[in-house]
Chains A and B, each alone.
Chain A
Amino acid sequence: MSGLRRIPWALVLVVAALFVPALGSRFYTFVATDVAILALFAVSLNLLLGYTGLVSFGHAAYFGIGAYATGILMKKAGIPFLLAFPAAGVLAGLFALVFGFFCVRLTKIYFAMLTLAFAQIVWAICFKWNDVTGGEQGMPEIPYPDLAWMERLPLAGQLRTSDHFYLLTVVLVAACLWVLRRIVGSPFGRILTTIRENPERAEFIGVNVRRFELIAFVIAGAFAGLAGGLFGIFNRGVFPDFVYWSKSSEVLIMTILGGIGYFYGPAVGALVLLVLNQQITSYTQYWPFILGTILIVLLFAFPSGIVGALDAAARRLARPRRA
């Protein structure tokens, strides 16, 4: 058991993920890119939801801001990906700073509602500001970053552009997840957990709760922005839907489906939900119906999510049986 634990599973998974294009299927690469990007989005939300105990109902705002930022910079200004991608994180982080400043002053349900209100404001602007965001029609044809250099890499020579972009996505998402993991494990992350468990007590021991919540909000927003920046390119276009409240609830569902008590839980949720979506939508158009049913089963039967349920099962198996 302890031997198994010493293997760096996350690294193994990243390396394995790099070989998905080698399967040669355009479809697998497509799904894998989707999963990688939304996993980052969901994990960034979980920094608020699972670690700090803040329910954000408008996390799509920062995803969308990141997507629009990268899209506009690359398509309209011709700025290379190397600058346009970090810009997504910075801009989303700045918006999160401004919006979060007001949100962290409110508690519980009011916090959730204000995050939603801000997200809808962003949506209304994206939806109507035709000159900059393309309005209702969105902004199609975001160019791929220049990845011709990847052809010189061993094994990656014959791959398609979408495969190259997938490799880039895996590396960037893995790097982001690593940073987030470090943040969560740091003393700063511990304080966030303290705030979740008991904000009053955290205040008593001298923690400036609002400031820490705001910092968490900005970090979560920035990483959601990075995920959005990647998603706009992957999706070959940025649309106002990215910011709409149904997107926020989608990522919430992923996060809870995976399990908010685990760092990689939301990533598992993203994987399961997207793969299910791909499978089910090829049989029926009533995906929302299925999603709703999954959600109800989840809420009643597995409130701690997939990873939570697996974890509990593993513990039960590992425990020596007493007569």
Chain B
Amino acid sequence: MPDLAFLFGQSLSGLTAAMFLFLVASGLSLIFGVLGVLNFAHGSFYMLGAYTTYQIVQWLGRDPGSFWWAALGAAVSIAILGGLIERFLFRHLYGADVLYQLLFTYALVLILSDAAKVLWGTGQLSVSRPPGLTGAFKLWGTFIPYYNLFVLLLGPTIALLFWLLLTRTRNGRLIRAAALDREMLGALGVNVDRLYTGVFVVGSFLAGLGGALIAPVKAVVPGMDVEIIVEAFIVVVIGGLGSFWGTMLGALVYGQVLAFGILIFPRFSIFSVFALMAVVLILRPWGLLGRPLKS
């Protein structure tokens, strides 16, 4: 039986991973909830967010606040990129079969991953932690980096902001309405096209932000796009596609299953999360907190 301090550390690392995943997966879930499309390119936006952060930090040099500006700049650039892709390409596929929309986003994955290789090469890049958050402190025998603490606090904050946006603002109400019935909303005089672009922009922003924030703790490498999309995908499926709190729950469950799965069956921890996804899909296809889709 491992001691409690160890379990605490393990669950905390799972929790930190969950917060990163939540940032990325919430955007994925938002886009699915409104547009009904699973955006494979979401992972690519995350990857580009990390690369752009690196790039802006390089440009700004050793300025102490450079990381924060870089993270913000990266998230905004990715949001703009997402908006452009939606406005000029993706929009024209709304009438097509879902399969074609899926393949379009997959084509973006292929193109963006090679574009990143051309621009930044195939080596590992790293971004240093922002000054003020470089150290660590000890709690119950576990060292916790300040940066992780920051992410642990930021995750719920963003969740709360996001939730307020969805439930307390006019745009949030429109987004929720669009998820339920697009045509009716259009008939009521709402510019649904602009709303869709807006949703894509917000979703991409979250992906870019997730990538920007992970840059100081993980190496920025090609392939991080595919890695995260599989994880984010599992998270939204477990929590419920399109369900906001479901995504949070899914991320928390995923983080813990992965953190403890490694202890219980070290070699089959990837297996355990895929198995969890399959079980959820079989028993509750719409996820733990989602609602069944209208057919």
Contact = CB atoms under 8 A, between A and B. Distances in A.
Tell me if chain B binds chain A: yes
Interface of A: 49, 55, 102, 105-110, 112-114, 117-118, 120-121, 124-125, 127-128, 245-246, 249, 252-253, 256, 286, 288-289, 291-293, 295-296, 299-300, 303
19 contacts: A55-B98, A102-B278, A109-B241, A110-B281, A110-B285, A110-B286, A112-B102, A117-B277, A117-B278, A117-B281, A128-B267, A128-B270, A249-B103, A256-B100, A286-B118, A292-B110, A299-B93, A299-B103, A300-B93
Contacts of A124: 268, 270-271, 274
Interface in B224-249: 226, 230, 237, 241
B274 A114 contact: no
Contacts of A292: 106-111, 114
Contacts, number: 102
B39 interface: no
B120 interface: no
B282 A120 contact: no
A159 B295 CA distance: 57
Contact of A121 (B108, B230, B275, B285): B275
B34 to A, nearest CB: 14
A118 B100 contact: no
Nearest to B267: A128
B42 to A, nearest CB: 15
Interface of B is mostly: helix
B103 A286 contact: no
A121 B271 CA distance: 6
B100 A299 contact: yes
Interface string B159-174: 0000000000000000
B29 interface: no
B95 to A, nearest CB: 11
A300 B103 CA distance: 11
A300 B270 contact: no
Given A55-B99, A112-B102, 6 more contacts: A55-B98, A106-B285, A245-B230, A296-B89, A296-B104, A300-B89
A127 B96 CA distance: 36
Given A289-B115, A296-B107, A303 B281 contact: no
